[in-house]
Amino acid sequence: MTALNHSTRRRLQNLPQIPSVWEGDRRPLSAEDAMSQEWADPISAPTGTSECILWVDGSQGFVRAMDMVTLDTGPEAIVRTLLRAMEHPHSPAQPARPQKIVVNDRELKFYLRGVLQTLDITIEYVPELPLIDEIFRGFQDVVSTKPPHLPPQYAEVLTQKAYDIWRDAPWELLGDHQILSVELNQWDVETLYLCVLGMLGVDYGILLYRSIDSLKRFRQRVLANDSINQLEEAFLGQDCLFLSFESIGDVADEYEDDFDLADLPLSEIQPTFGNLHPLEGLRSFLYEEEALTAWVALEALHRFLRSSRQKLGGEGEALPKLNSRYRIPLPTVDDAKPSIISVKVATQPELESELLEMANAADEEDDEEFDGGQPLLRDDLVPANSFLSLGVVPWETVEFLRTGVDCYQSGPVTAAGEGLPVVLIQTSRPKAKAMIQELQEAGGLKAICFNRGEDSFDEVVYDLGILQTDDGQLHLFGEFIEDDPVHVAARKKWDQRCKKTKGYCGLIIAQGLTGASRGNPKLKDMLALFEVRSLSAKDLGLGPLQLIPQLE
């Protein structure tokens, strides 16, 4: 049996002992269920079925510590979680030792007696743990009350209709500025405005706007180049249903950097439905009327593409003025007599012209700003001698950081793949605080990008890591030798991961540069998380940057 070292014992003995009885246990539970609890600790939570370690104060009635471990993890993990419950408990608990610990496993009782024998804590066996039993019943209630992604009676027909749309490939004919209207006059919806995504080969899907004002307002706010927070607000302010397509699992990892979802076979494509509304935000499931609305609109789109495909010009050509009417039988439930509704699908060439004018005006403003001269690439934001790395943070940890760091800037990140691709900058605590403050004063972080840099004097080519702040300034965070094998591999993984997250990544600023966590900061060392766009060198539009010596 592994014993506590003497310094740890002395540290624990110095904690105040409170007249409380603590309950402790480990039970099977899926990591997804545990992460739905706001006080869950995601540090070591694996995927799939695992075991949950829980320590609660039975006298006060709150959780002191929780962890997720694999099924084959030894009893040492229970002690680790217990020590955290004593020294670093969840709020509102304060560091302390209990007078008594009760468990419902006799082997665990004897194990804890041996480990904690010098801490003056009574260890007892009891057949039941009422507070922990109640908490785990709550877990199961949460799982059982989660609504399905689609109403069961319409899930099959709606999924099949999504695959029909994928086979139709409307993005080969329509750009995201070429809108189709679908008049329904059903379920309190008069007209839906369909926006097709996918012509650029990045995101594939259909946005079904409930109003033309919502569509226009979102475009205006995006083109205005507002701050990240304002863009997120604009994204969540849309009023629409949506259908998006993604790859199943990690299929994209098997492909090169120029991976395009459209290259995958149908068996590796997965449709996802959801809802956006200014008062609801993003919801990844549909209720019954929403499911019927989406199905009818997609069926109407499917029929329109089948009948009018030859009349739609394709990429670069304006929409002709077209409209068609269809009588569509609704999906039946329990062999009921099908209802039939009449819908009208029409192109919107006037709206297309309006959206193009908005985009062209924004491009002209950007050109005028750029004509003022090439932006200066500053190197005074990131502290000297900082530890830098490109990596990935699991989504469970991202959820923890969003509520646990001092500074969090959110973005409309798609949780796909193994986690959020991040740039980690680790420095001392004062310098980390100063860097965070400078980013906040600049309006926040806007994007992370890489751009070619050339040192003609030493004949070295760099891959420059650049942070773009919301005030338009560009800040150097790293100079990487372009052909360095380690960096080449890291950049390849970075690009693949960013494609999975729909072009979003993160910046983590951490303390602990000179401590034991150098190069591997713990969650408590992470002070800031910025979720931003990942821009390519083409998006940045600077071209290769030349090193120019500064003369004093």
| Three-state SS annotation for 277-292 | ECCCEEECCCCHHHHH
pLDDT at position 201 is 66
pLDDT at position 49 is 57
pLDDT at 369 over 90: no
pLDDT at 193 over 90: yes
Q: Alpha-carbon distance 423 to 393, whole Å?
A: 10
Q: Alpha-carbon distance 77 to 82, whole Å?
A: 9
pLDDT at 262 over 80: no
Per the model's pLDDT, the better-predicted residue between 225 and 367 turns out to be 225
Beta strands in 219-294 (DSSP E): 240-247, 269-277, 281-283
pLDDT at position 189 is 92
pLDDT at position 336 is 64
Percentage of residues in the chain with pLDDT exceeding 70? 85
Percentage of residues in the chain with pLDDT exceeding 90? 43
pLDDT at position 375 is 52
pLDDT tens, 10-61? 999 999 999 999 999 998 875 444 444 433 443 344 444 578 899 999 888 8
pLDDT tens, 266-309? 888 999 999 998 888 888 889 999 999 999 999 999 999 999 88
Q: Alpha-carbon distance 478 to 257, whole Å?
A: 22
End-to-end CA distance of the chain: 66
Closest CA to 380 of 463, 422, 439, 460: 439
pLDDT at position 374 is 47
Q: Alpha-carbon distance 278 to 235, whole Å?
A: 9
Cβ-contact 151, 286 below 8 angstroms: yes
pLDDT tens, 205-222? 999 999 999 999 888 888
Please indicate, yes or no, whether the overall pTM of this predicted structure exceeds 0.85.
no
Cβ-contact 242, 277 below 8 angstroms: no
What length is written for the chain?
A: 552
Q: Please state whether beta strands 460-469 and 445-455 pair in parallel, antiparallel, or not at all (unpaired).
A: antiparallel
pLDDT at 372 over 50: no
pLDDT at position 144 is 58
pLDDT at position 472 is 85
Residue 11 vs residues 83, 210, 421: alpha-carbon distances, Å: 11, 61, 38
pLDDT band at 228 (very low <50, low <70, confident <90, very high): low
Q: Out of 12-26, 92-106, 131-145, 514-528, which region has the weakest mean confidence (pLDDT)?
A: 131-145
pLDDT at position 260 is 67
pLDDT tens, 330-360? 988 766 667 899 999 999 999 998 988 888 7
pLDDT at 185 over 50: yes
Burial label, 470 (beta-carbon count in 10 A; 0-12, 13-18, 19+): buried
Q: Out of 113-117, 130-134, 358-362, 486-490, which region has the weakest mean confidence (pLDDT)?
A: 358-362
Q: Out of 244-248, 371-375, 391-395, which region has the weakest mean confidence (pLDDT)?
A: 371-375
pLDDT tens, 238-258? 899 999 998 886 555 554 444
Tokens standing for residue 61: 């009635």
pLDDT at position 251 is 57
Compute the average pLDDT of residues 466-494.
Answer: 89
Q: What are phi and psi of 209, to 5 degrees?
A: -75, 140
pLDDT at position 342 is 94
Angle, CA 265 vertex, CA 300 and CA 155 arms, to 5° = 45
pLDDT band at 313 (very low <50, low <70, confident <90, very high): low
Tokens standing for residue 481: 């030798």
Q: What are phi and psi of 149, to 5 degrees?
A: -60, -35
pLDDT tens, 132-167? 998 888 877 665 566 788 899 989 999 999 999 999
Radius of gyration of the chain (CA): 28
